[in-house]
Structure formats: structure tokens, C-alpha cells
Chains A and B, each alone.
Chain A
Amino acid sequence: MLLQAKHIDFSYGDEAIFDDFNLAVEHGERVVLKGESGGGKSTLMRLLLGFEVPGSGTLEYDGTPLNGKHLRQFRRECAWLPQDLNIGTGRVDEVILFPFRFKQSGNSMPDEEKILDILSDLGLDADILEKEFTDLSTGQRQRVGIALCILLDKPVLLLDEPTSALDEASKEKAAGHLFSDPDRTVLSTSHDPFWLERCDRIIDLDAESEHKQNGS
């Protein structure tokens, strides 16, 4: 298993989010989480990334618990599209290029042609690069975020509602890029039938008993 959550308990204050939650994602698998808002879909990604700490249970990447150096290794090997899309500041070109300046990340700087091709596929014109990121609409921000995830070219993708603000044509192009590598493991959250259809496995977080029985 590439990603595993074992017997996770987690709560925000008095509100229990996970109670003995289990999840296993295989290498190259495309798994989508669905469920009501506040049901823990985004929280699970934040737990995997080490931004929240479970009350009990363990999270593993490639068989090793996600903490210390291994957590940082995991962060280097994944790309995350957060739901609120607060992913940068300044001009859009600066937002896109900033993560490629992280020295130990292993991110290789993309050339301009590649950036423009991907933006174009996602329905964005080249002049968007000169705009302030904070001036963009939610849909434009989401496309820039997806473009960045594609450009980072990581073996693991954590995508929080990746198609919520995209039109049908852009969804097709985005999925084409994001699912282009069969070895890439994708864990996502979505309610979009378009996205659900293209994933290997759907996990309904509202059906808690299913998780416990199936380990997924």
C-alpha cells in the first residue's frame, strides 16, 4: 500500500471527525472521497500532510509512518490542491514559479512553452500570467492551481474538489493531464459525477460502517 490510515481518531474540539477510520490506497490508484461538507474529506488530506495530528492511529506512506524526515519526503513527492486555493501572492507567473525555487524539493523549473500549453489547455490565456493572483476569479485560481499540480509532476496528487469551478471542456483537459501517468497515485475529494466516473474507487465518508468493514 502506498498510503494508509490505520485506526485514526480525530476531532476538532468536541466534534468528532474520524472514529477508528481506516483507508488504504494502492500505488497508481485513483481514489475519490465523497461525503457531506465537514465530514472529514479535506481533513484527511491535512492529516496525511502532517498539518493536523490524529488523536490516535497512524498514517503511513510507502509502509513508513508519516513523521519527521519521512513526512518531509512525502511532501516532496506529492502535489496538493487545497480547497480555498490560497496558494500564492503576487503575479500569477510568480505564483506558478515560486514552488520551483525550493532547493530540496526536486521540482524542476518548467519552460515557458510548457506553462503556456497547460494554461491554454485549461482555458487560460497567456496574459493571465501578468495578472495579480488575488484578482483572479475562483475558477481561474482553480485552473492555475491545477496547472501548478500538473507542472510539479509528482508521483502522488492530493486534490481537494479539483473540478468544482471548471467547465466541461476544462474538466476533460485537466483530467487528461492529471491522469496521464498510470503510475501516479491520486487521492481526491469530489461530488462531481464527471470526476467520480474517472476514479478507480469511490469512498463515501458518510457511510462510516463501510470504512470499518472494508478497510477503505
Chain B
Amino acid sequence: MEIIQLSWLQLAFGFIILIIPAAILWWFNTGLTGKMFVATIRMTLQLLFVGYYLEYLFEYDNTWLNLAWIMVMVVVADFATIDRSDLKTTRSLVLPIFWATFIGIVLINLFFLELVIQLPNFLEAQYAIPITGMVLGNCLRSNVIGINEFYYNLKENNERYQFYLASGATRSEALYPFFQRALQKSANPTLAGMATIGLVSLPGMMTGQILSGSSPMTAIQYQIMIMLAIFSGTILSVFLAIIFCNRTVFFDNDVLDKSIFKE
């Protein structure tokens, strides 16, 4: 079945539905009405920009161009992670989180695109860009939760961490309970999503594929694969982000550099 092409007028008509949430948010004086309009405009402009860019990327399908685009996505995710995590945008965090996210994405892409789907070129735009985008979006959310939990829990329970050090723990051993809790917190939303997927929600990728004419079973196979990629990617990137950051945010005496916190 051919997908019905949306005209710009039809799309514009779709925006009328925003009257309902805007009215509800305004009536309850939430202060979010303005934010809703800003967010909607940003979402529309960003997606239109990406749409035009992806058309260009898909047309040329150049490996280096695709890689450059992935790097741009990782850099944006890197700064967005720190911005949303209540930590300062310092060199000691920007570089480790960039490398953690980049390595996580590359490993996940290599595994799924090269070994599972067995693409001739694993950076083929049609597969690499959307899958990277989906994994990266989830990595961003998990990294924010994981990094925030790790460093703020450590700040609040600094004496417990220091008690472990004073009982003969290495820095890694003393940080183990904080690591454990950060992983639990960051994994929980994805795990909850996996447990209810298909029953409570139909995921976006699968819906998109079905709308564009794929058979439901093909769409489901891809959706299962993307869920595995998302879960593995998020855990890997949170793990690497904390490991890499820990190499730069502690002094030689194992004391946490508190200048990373926004005060």
C-alpha cells in the first residue's frame, strides 16, 4: 500500500490541535503555554532542517559525510547531556562524555549494522542515520539520569564514600555503590519501556515503517533490534561516561572536584 503524501497545508492544519493543550495549560496557569509554543517551533524547525539535510545525505550517501553527521549528533548530545544534568559545562566533563557516547554509538552501530543486518557499508545513510538518532536520543536521556544520580549521590553522601576510602578501599571500590545506583536509575526507564512495549505503546519506528508500507512483521523485527540497540547503547554509554569522567573529576587524594556542580 502506498503511503499518502502529506501536503504542507495538511501539515499546517495539524497544528490546530495545539489549541487543546494550550487552553488546558493556560487555564491551570502552569506557565508552560509559552514554553509549549517555543518547543513546538523549535521541534518544527529542527525537524525541517534535518529533513532537508537527510534528503541531501540520502542522495549522496557518502560514508565520510554520514560519519560527520553522526559526529555532529554526538557533539550536540554531549552538550545537551551536561546542560540537562545540573553539572557545569567544563572540559573535565565535555570530553569524557563525548568519547563515551561516541564509542557507545560506534560499537552498537558496528554490531547491528555490520554483523546483524550485514550492510555492505555499515555507514549507509538509510540505516545508520535513523538508528544512530534513536540510540543517541535514548543515550542522552540515560546519561543525564545516570551522571546526575552518580555525582549528586556522591556529593550528598560524601562522608560514606570517604569512610570506604578510609577503610582501605581503592577509589573504584569506594565508588562501586554509587555506580550501582546510577546504573539502576538510568536503566529503569528503558527497562520499563521494554516491558510494556506493544501493550501500552506502539513505538515510533515501527509505526513509521508500517505507515510507509512495510509489513507489520518486518517492522516488528526492526523494532526488536532497535530496542536491543537502545538498551545496550544506553547502558554502555552511561558506564563509559562515568568511567571516563571519573578520570578527570577527582583530585590525586581521591576527593571529588566540587567545581563540576552548578551552585
Q: In B155-201, which residues have CB < 8 Å from any A CB?
A: 157, 159-160, 162-170, 173, 177
With beta carbons under 8 angstroms apart, the residue of B160, B170, B253 that contacts A88 is B160
User: How many angstroms between the C-alpha atoms of A23 and B170 in the bound complex?
Assistant: 28
Interface with B: A25-33, A46-54, A189-197, which one? A46-54
User: How long is the Cα–Cα vector from A33 to B24 in the complex, in angstroms?
Assistant: 63
B71 within 8 Å of A (CB atoms) = no
**B255 located at the interface, meaning its Cβ lies under 8 Å from any Cβ of chain A in the complex:** yes
**How far is the CB of B251 from the nearest CB of chain A, in Å?**
8
Chain B residues closer than 8 Å to A89, beta-carbon distance: 157, 160, 177
Which of A75, A76, A82, A89 has most B Cβ within 10 Å?
Answer: A75
Give which listed residue, A68, A71, A86, A102, contacts B159 with CB less than 8 A: A86
Q: Which among B160, B170, B173, B255 is the interface contact of A87 at CB below 8 angstroms?
A: B160
Query: Which residues in A have some Cβ–Cβ distance to B below 8 Å?
Result: 46, 49-51, 53, 67-68, 71-72, 75-76, 78-80, 82, 84, 86-89, 98-99, 101-107, 148, 152, 158
Q: Is residue B254 contacting chain A, with contact meaning CB distance below 8 A?
A: yes
Given A50-B253, A50-B254, A53-B253 in contact, is the A102-B163 Cβ separation under 8 Å? no
B166 touches A79 (CB 8 A): yes
Chain B minimum-CB-distance residue to A49: B166
* Docked-complex contact B167 and A103, CB < 8 angstroms: no
B263 in the interface (beta carbon within 8 A): no
> Does B252 have its Cβ within 8 Å of any Cβ on chain A?
yes
CB–CB B170/A104 < 8 A:
yes
Q: Which residues of A contact B169 (CB under 8 A)?
A: 99, 102, 105
In the complex, chain B residues whose CB is within 8 Å of the CB of A46: 162
Query: Are A107 and B168 within 8 A (Cβ)?
Result: yes
Answer whether A82 and B162 are a contact pair too, CB < 8 Å, given A51-B255, A67-B252, A68-B252: yes
* Contact of A103 with B173 in the complex, beta carbons under 8 Å: yes
Contact B159 A75 (CB under 8 A): no
A105 in complex: contacting residue of B160, B167, B253, CB < 8 Å: B167
Interchain Cβ contacts under 8 Å between A and B, 11 examples = A51-B253, A51-B255, A79-B167, A80-B163, A80-B166, A88-B160, A98-B177, A99-B164, A101-B173, A102-B168, A104-B170
Contacts A76-B168, A78-B166, A105-B169; is A84 near B159 (CB within 8 Å)? yes
Inter-chain contacts of B173 with A (CB < 8 A): 101-103
- Give the residue name and chain of the A residue nearest to B165 (CB): A75
- B253 near A71 with CB under 8 A, answer yes
Contact residues in B for A76 (Cβ distance below 8 Å): 168
Question: Is there an interface contact between B168 and A104, defined as CB atoms closer than 8 Å?
Answer: yes
Q: Shortest CB–CB separation between residue A87 and chain B, in angstroms?
A: 5
Q: Choose among B166, B170, B253 the residue with the greatest number of A CB atoms under 10 Å from its CB.
A: B166
- Chain B residues positioned under 8 Å from A102 (CB to CB): 164, 167-170, 173
Which of B163, B170, B252 contacts A82, CB < 8 Å? B163
CA distance A86 to B170 in the complex (A): 18
Bound-state CA distance A79–B165 (Å) is 10
Question: From residue B253, how far is it (CB to closest CB) to chain A in Å?
Answer: 4
Provide the residues of chain B in CB contact with A104, threshold 8 Å: 168, 170
